[in-house]
Amino acid sequence: MKKFRKVLDGLSSSSPGGVASPSCGSAAGTPTSHAPTPQDIHVQETLVSENFQICKTVRHGFPYQPTCLAFDPVQKILAIGSRTGGIRILGRPGVDCYSQHESGAAVLQLQFLINEGALVTACADDTLHLWNLRQRRPAILHSLKFNRERITFCHLPFQSKWLYVGTERGNTHIVNIESFVLSGYVIMWNKAIELATKAHPGPVVHLSDSPKDEGKLLIGFESGTVVQWDLRAKKVDFRIYYDEAIHSVSWHHEGKQFMCSHSDGSLTMWNLRNTARPIQITYPHGKILKDGRKESCKPILKVEYKTSRNSSEPYVIFSGGLSYDKSGGRRPTLTIMHGKAITVLEMDHPIVEFLVLCDTPYSNEVQDPYAVVVLLEKDFIVVDLTQSNFPIFENPYPMDIHESPVTCTAYFAECPPDIIPILYSIGAKQKKTGYSHKEWPVSGGTWTLGSQTYPEIIVTGHADGTVKFWDASAITLQMLYKLKTSKVFEKPKAGEGRAGELVEEDPYAVQMVSWCPHSRLFCVVGISAHVILYRFSKHDANTQIVSLEVRLQFDSEDVISPSEAENNPCFSDPSSPQPPGSPGSGTQDSLPCLKVKSRPVRMPPGYQAEMVVQLQWVDGEPPQQITSLDINSAYGLLAFGNCNGLTVVDFLQKTILMCMGTLDLYGAADPYQRLTRSPRKNRQSTSGLTELSDNQVSMDMERSKSPTSESRENSFSRSRSSSVSSIDRDTKESVTTLQFGESYGRKGDALPTACLWVGTSLGVVLLLPISIPTEEEERMEEPITMGPSGTVLMLKGSVLRFAFLDCGGALIQSPYEVWRDPNGPEDPDRPRRRKLINFSPSSSQEACGDGHLAVVCSEKQAKVILMPTQAVLFTHNITESSFLLRADVVSVCNSVCLACFCANGHIMTLSLPSLRPLMDINYLPLTDLRIARTFVFTNGGQALYLSSPTEIQRLTYSQEMTDNLQDMLGELFTPIETPEAQNKGFLKGFFGGNAQTFDREELFGEAAAGKASRSLAQHIPGPMGLENMKAAAGGVVGDLARARIALDQRGERLGELEERTALMMNSAETFSTHAHQVMLKHKDKKWYQL
């Protein structure tokens, strides 16, 4: 083993003596006097540990597994709770906040303290939490944990500090919102029902105070019992019994009647004058059958009963209630009844909850509903009630990320500034129409564009083959453009093609993307082993899509000997016909999985498919999924690889330039001792294609057990119909990463040339120099030559990333072609020519001489080597016990570093080129392959991953961005005057108004009600600490308390002023009387008699 390691070490520091290719045309020669040595490399590194800090920034997308909904009608902000303990608070575009309960318990109910900047959450672990929303990142102020009873329903009256809490046992408790302690006042279930009733009424499913009298509390029990409790008298006003279970209750605003929804699909109306029976029973979707029986209907889970100023007819809005016969083939529905008009809105997903939005926060005023917010299991819509056809509002939030499951992500920061406007202008034509013309009703909070903004784009690939471009600038997310890759292919007919055998479903699923924002070239890799190349155009076009098919299935009989490789380094055209006896010449083989459209296709402006490359079936085996991809617009080349080998395509000449098995890339410089593989005919043989020596097998088998290798080769965890044995599958050497760039193809090269860097799953780095004609006319006609030059170095684990630095430590970009519209109008005076931008290593460093640094990172370690000498300058073993899932070389704070995400949840950054550890933080444990597949770093200290099937989580690892984050986030709370209650008028107030005011403090306070049992609930201070909590309390409930104290003081001062005014009036009257008496006394006297 020691001897074997010495061999590997020697390979990494000396020339492997690879097969030279005379026809490759690179500028080989003796090293110049300017070639740097390791002693010449002195890069001044500026990054330190203080530059790095992990912080979640914002979460985009639809809340995963939503459970409940709440709306503040004054602040106009909306909250959504989820089954995993998350809360999303939404306002105007840009105001989007995510918070998480540490317990992870499902959020059962949400209650805003209306216009107070606070929110109460009730969770499945029977804990109440008070959240402060007056800060950009909400925090918990108090928690109250119930020990003996389970919370089922909560109700907080408007402008009250007392929260009613119903429990599974049927009891109702009262919580002081300011102190978050229980009152001694309890409404026990056995006091609420009649003594003669033997059965338990069930859990509390509804609580509300009467709009007519706040001292009356309506309690609904699941069994069908409804009780109105007089809070002052501590007794029942009336009881209602109904045969069917109750799901919800809704008051008429006058407080004289209310409506209940039931489990049999019925709605009952009750009048307080006669509570013996309902005044109306309706089955909105149930008909009377011929035999007189009524149709059985599904439960109506919620009903809202709202009055309107513009109409004498109320709105009755409910979910569910369809008859079982009809509902079999129908989707979930929301029904809007307005007078005799009944409108049924069908939904794409089950309804979780809905809310009717009204102008007034007061329950005793005409409600005037204007919209309905409907929370579905996988969508969120708002219906406009003010128009007769009930259109929906256009949703400004990116709630449709998961429209089709996300299968891959890409993140581009500091894009060219013109790319976002042009994508938006073309994507705007794809938008649906028919939306409401009114403004989005959830318009609360404030958000301003931060000072540190630059163009950012997120690209998501999806299971149905769609690709979406999102504007991610300034921590927002807005859809720009949508591309459907499936339109390139013919729709498969039943029993036709191989797609069904390869993949059970989603044959167009996107595995990876490669995008050059400068040249606007876009490349998509699909699960059916296909690669699609797109060009961007502002004009529509009728285009014939070029289709190339590649046979990339190599075996021992396919391997070419070193002598043959010397004579024919570039290989004959693999697309040429196979010899008659060769494998794959059967009629059923040599077919791709999908069929490309053969006729010219009309393509709208945007991304237009130019070429499709597909791998063929061979010997009844499907092509293996593509594991690596790179494209270079300046070279006009596209490269991709899988576990069988590497393919390079010239997309300018539309030809296959190279198609090699992984073994052939080594030539005579194979560092492994591989056993001879038996021919394919001997199927019982278990020898692997690239079987290794014993020592290396154990190392690679251990690595191959890691989830990342499985996810990389089987990204969608689907079984593949393949006869390859398990040992063969584990030890196949895949091409795991590719990178085009200007480099030195061989040790002796004096000048840089176009190269393709190849990394494999066994940690081998190979270099392929490319000879490209310089003149444009020659480039379109003359063939490109390329061939392997041997192994450069080896690392532990699969190679993940390449990057290139100049000798001053600056990142070298890959060359690119400046975008030009392929369908633009021709100018006869100025022929169109390609404009190439080349970042050659020798162009930016005269002081250091020629040469550059190559950064190579694998699953286990990173190395920095000096080119062209191939000397290893720095090595760092990143992890021993785990493995990296993602590694990117990114720019942060005007410098560069290597950012890594490890399978054990650690995020690490390393300095370049010295590979000094700068940060190592245990961020999150890898819970599923979704995170492994979607985690990506980008420039500016940002990263993202799919935190759930429906949400994208963005984070920063930059201290500078963490410090500036508060300025970038939106404000949830805006100081707004609470609207005044309407003046009811003298007669209404005199005859029907509340004669006496209701003081809850007198009833529920400790002085009157005493203390609650300590064992019933436990108060838990917020996690911010006592001092911070006091300071935060000054922002929410403290403000409420202080406002009340100020109001009391103002009342006292007004009282004193009134008393002083009365005294002054009495004094004035006394003075007036006295003056009158003096006047009468001297009335008849002359002035000289006085």
User: In the predicted model, what is the mean pLDDT of residues 870-894?
Assistant: 94
Write out pLDDT tens, residues 494-507.
555 554 454 457 89
Q: What is the pLDDT of residue 830?
A: 60
Q: HEC states along 386-409?
A: CCCCCCECCCCCCCCCCCCCEEEE
Residues 6+ apart with CB under 8 A from 57: 475, 942, 954, 955, 956, 961, 965, 968
Q: What is the pLDDT of residues 399-439, one digit of tens each?
A: 999 999 999 999 999 899 999 999 999 999 888 888 999 99
CB 134, CB 112: distance < 8 Å: no
Structure tokens at 438: 């009114």
> Mean pLDDT score of the chain, rounded to an integer?
81
Q: How many whole angstroms from its chain centre is CA 1087?
A: 97
Residue 1070: Cβ-neighbour burial (10 angstroms; 0-12, 13-18, 19+):
exposed
Q: DSSP secondary-structure letter at 749?
A: B
Convert the pLDDT of each residue in 697-741 to its tens digit.
Answer: 333 333 333 333 333 333 333 333 332 233 343 457 899 999 999
Average pLDDT over residues 292-310: 89
Which residue has better confidence, 12 or 303? 303
Q: Give the pair of three-digit tokens for residue 876.
A: 């760092």
Please tell me the predicted confidence (pLDDT) of residue 120. 97
Q: Partners of 267 in the beta sheet?
A: 261, 282
More confident residue, 228 or 1012: 228
> At CA 871, angle to CA 867 and CA 877, rounded to 5?
110
In the structure, what pLDDT confidence band is assigned to residue 681 with cuts at 50, 70 and 90? very low
pLDDT for 567 equals 35
pLDDT at 702: 37
End-to-end CA distance of the chain, in Å?
Answer: 136
Judged against a pLDDT cut of 80, whether residue 816 lies above it is answered with yes
pLDDT at 514: 96
What would the mean pLDDT of 6-33 be, rounded to a whole number? 35
Of 460 and 1075, the one with more pLDDT = 460
- Residue percentage of the chain with pLDDT more than 70: 78
pLDDT digits (tens, 9 = 90+) for 848-872: 457 899 999 999 999 999 999 999 9
Which pLDDT score, from 0 to 100, does residue 582 have?
Answer: 35
- Asked whether the beta carbons of 457 and 476 are under 8 A apart, the reply is no
* pLDDT higher at 711 or 917: 917
Q: What is the pLDDT of residues 552-594, one digit of tens each?
A: 876 544 433 333 333 333 333 433 333 333 333 444 467 888 9
Residue 89 has pLDDT above 90, yes or no: yes
Q: How far is CA 618 from CA 481, 550, 658, 1016, in A?
A: 37, 10, 18, 70
Q: Which of 26-35, 181-190, 761-770, 824-833 has the lowest mean pLDDT?
A: 26-35
pLDDT for the residue 674: 61
Residue pLDDT, tens place only, 169-214: 999 999 999 999 999 999 999 888 887 677 889 999 999 999 999 9
Asked if residues 765 and 794 have their Cβ atoms less than 8 Å apart, the reply is yes
Residue 874's DSSP bridge partners are 864
- Please write the tens of the pLDDT for every residue from 275-291: 999 999 999 988 877 77
- Residue 928 is predicted with a pLDDT of 76
H or E segment and range at residue 255: none
> What is the band of 825 on the pLDDT scale with cuts at 50, 70, 90?
confident
Integer CA distances (angstroms), 789 to 21, 22, 428, 637, 664, in order: 7, 11, 49, 19, 11
pLDDT tens for 67-81 read 999 999 999 999 999
Residue 470 has pLDDT above 80, yes or no: yes
Residue 258 has pLDDT above 50, yes or no: yes
At 585 the pLDDT is 40
pLDDT of residue 1054: 63
Which of 961, 962, 927, 965 lies closest to 946 in space, CA to CA? Answer: 927
Question: What Cα–Cα distance (Å) separates residue 425 from each residue in 232, 421, 430, 535, 713?
Answer: 63, 6, 10, 17, 37
Q: With a cut of 90, say whether residue 948 has pLDDT above it.
A: yes
Residue 534's φ and ψ, nearest 5 degrees, are -120, 145
Q: Strand pairing partners for 446? A: 971
DSSP conformational letter for 1014: T
Q: pLDDT by residue (tens digit) across 359-376?
A: 899 999 999 999 999 999
Place 449 in a pLDDT band, splitting at 50, 70 and 90: confident
Choose the weakest-confidence range: 60-74, 216-230, 290-304, 947-961.
290-304
Strands (E), 391-538: 406-413, 456-462, 466-471, 478-484, 510-516, 521-526, 530-537
- Cβ 228 vs Cβ 251: under 8 Å: no
Higher per-residue confidence, 662 vs 372:
372
Average pLDDT over residues 32-44: 65
Residue 511 and residue 502: Cα distance in Å, rounded? 15
Instruction: Considering only residues 551 and 1063, tell me which one the structure prediction assigns the higher pLDDT.
Output: 551
Alpha-carbon distance 87 to 68, whole Å? 10
**Candidate ranges 105-119, 193-207, 305-319, 982-996; pick with highest mean pLDDT:** 105-119
